[in-house]
């Protein structure tokens, strides 16, 4: 019986002994209590009793571009058309940058009263805005906004994710919904900008090519007036036809002259026939000289005329293509080039996801312990290498 009664006595004695040994161990290591135990206890008190619940609302969207089948008027269209539309990736990045920007925060201040939603009375002083060591300026609010609102691009699914933290479910949902609606407005403005840019570029090309075609026509008309030629190629053909006709006449006259000289050498018509042949030869030489010869010949003017004619034809064709591109740009302006499709609507959270109280306490304890042992090792190393007096 005495042995059985001894066990409770020993247990009662061992418990104070273990507590005393722990207190003795802590008294020998006051820095451990100061830098590890105290921060862990403060973290436990804060996260266990004072830290406010934080609700998280998430939404997902993707920006798409409808497939467009563009008919090419001609191979020259690739040279004339200088504008084009890329896929929705670039537009998604622009929208995400906008959500992160000060412009989005100013819009939220105006439409959602975000300043009051980030500083409710029921939130603890360390979590709400402004913090103990933080001002209430717009830049301070923007810094706090960056901590509470996160936007990322999910590379695996290709969707953009908006995550909003707030101190009540309704506030988190409202802010997320406002950001999503502003993102849709941003996409619509991007559409308008692209449409206006496309039409402006197309009109610019039409104006430039109209002036070019007009200048080509004026240059060709000036050339015709100066050279007194409508179409050098056709006129050269006409002159050569006249020359060929006269050459045939000369050949007939020469045959007639030869026949007279052989049969009737004393025929009085022979001198007149010879004069006629000479006149025809002179005319033939004159006609051929109009086509080829010196600087006034038609052949010398043909190159300049053909250059001007080619320039006029190219400018006219380019103008036709530019007008077709302008009509296409105006037709595309009535269609939406990009649109935001909501993959996941902003959710109304039913329970707080933050803070992770136990995990936060463990992180504080682990961090304090690591810092304590790093400092302890440094001090021990310094003492070991210190010179002995």
Tell me the C-alpha distance between 283 and 278, whole Å: 9
- pTM summary value: 0.62
- Mean pLDDT of all residues in 357-368: 94
User: Strand, coil or helix: what is 152?
Assistant: strand
Looking at the DSSP bridge assignments, the partners of residue 63 are 340
- Using CA atoms, how far apart are residues 314 and 328, in angstroms rounded to an integer? 21
Distances (CA, A) of 327 to 106, 178, 206, 314: 39, 37, 11, 20
Q: What is the pLDDT of residues 122-171, one digit of tens each?
A: 999 999 999 888 899 999 999 999 999 999 999 888 899 999 999 999 99
At residue 14, does pLDDT exceed 60? no
Rounded to an integer, the average pLDDT of 352-372 is 93
Q: What is the pLDDT of residue 73?
A: 41
**For residue range 303-322, what is the model confidence (pLDDT) as tens digits?**
677 777 788 888 889 888 88
How would residue 77 be classed by pLDDT, with cut points 50, 70 and 90?
Answer: very low
């Amino acid at each position: 019986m005495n042995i059985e009664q001894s066990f409770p006595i020993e247990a009662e004695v061992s418990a104070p002994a273990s507590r005393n040994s722990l207190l003795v161990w802590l008294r020998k290591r006051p820095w451990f209590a100061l830098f590890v135990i105290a921060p862990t206890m403060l973290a436990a008190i804060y996260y266990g009793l004072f830290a406010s619940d934080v609700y998280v609302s998430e939404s997902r969207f993707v920006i798409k571009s409808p497939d467009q089948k563009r008919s090419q008027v001609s191979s020259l269209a690739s040279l004339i058309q200088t504008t084009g539309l890329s896929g929705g990736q670039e537009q998604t990045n622009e929208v995400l940058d906008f959500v992160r920007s000060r412009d989005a925060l100013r819009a939220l201040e105006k439409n959602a009263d975000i300043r009051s939603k980030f500083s409710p009375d029921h939130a603890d002083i360390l979590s709400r805005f402004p913090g103990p060591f933080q001002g209430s300026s717009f830049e301070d609010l923007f810094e706090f906004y960056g901590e509470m609102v996160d936007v990322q691009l999910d590379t695996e699914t290709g969707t953009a994710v908006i995550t909003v933290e707030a101190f009540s479910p309704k506030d988190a949902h409202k802010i997320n919904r406002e950001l999503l609606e502003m993102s849709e407005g941003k996409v619509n403005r991007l559409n308008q900008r692209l449409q206006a840019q496309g039409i402006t570029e197309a009109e610019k090309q039409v104006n430039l090519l109209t002036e070019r075609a007009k200048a080509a026509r004026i240059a060709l008309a000036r050339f015709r007036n100066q050279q007194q030629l409508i179409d050098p190629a056709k006129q050269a053909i006409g002159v050569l036809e006249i020359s060929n006709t006269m050459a045939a006449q000369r050949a007939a006259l020469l045959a007639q002259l030869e026949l007279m000289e052989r049969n009737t050498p004393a025929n009085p018509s022979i001198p007149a026939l010879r004069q006629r042949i000479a006149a025809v030869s002179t005319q033939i030489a004159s006609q051929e000289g109009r086509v080829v010869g010196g600087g006034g010949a038609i052949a010398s003017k043909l190159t300049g005329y053909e250059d001007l004619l080619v320039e006029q034809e190219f400018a006219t064709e380019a103008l036709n293509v530019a007008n077709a591109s302008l009509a296409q740009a105006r037709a595309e302006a009535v269609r939406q080039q990009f649109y935001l499709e909501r993959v996941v609507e902003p959710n109304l959270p039913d329970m707080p996801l933050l803070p992770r109280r136990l995990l936060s306490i463990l992180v504080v304890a682990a961090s304090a312990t690591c810092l304590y042992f790093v400092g302890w090792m440094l001090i021990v190393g310094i003492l070991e290498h210190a010179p002995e007096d």
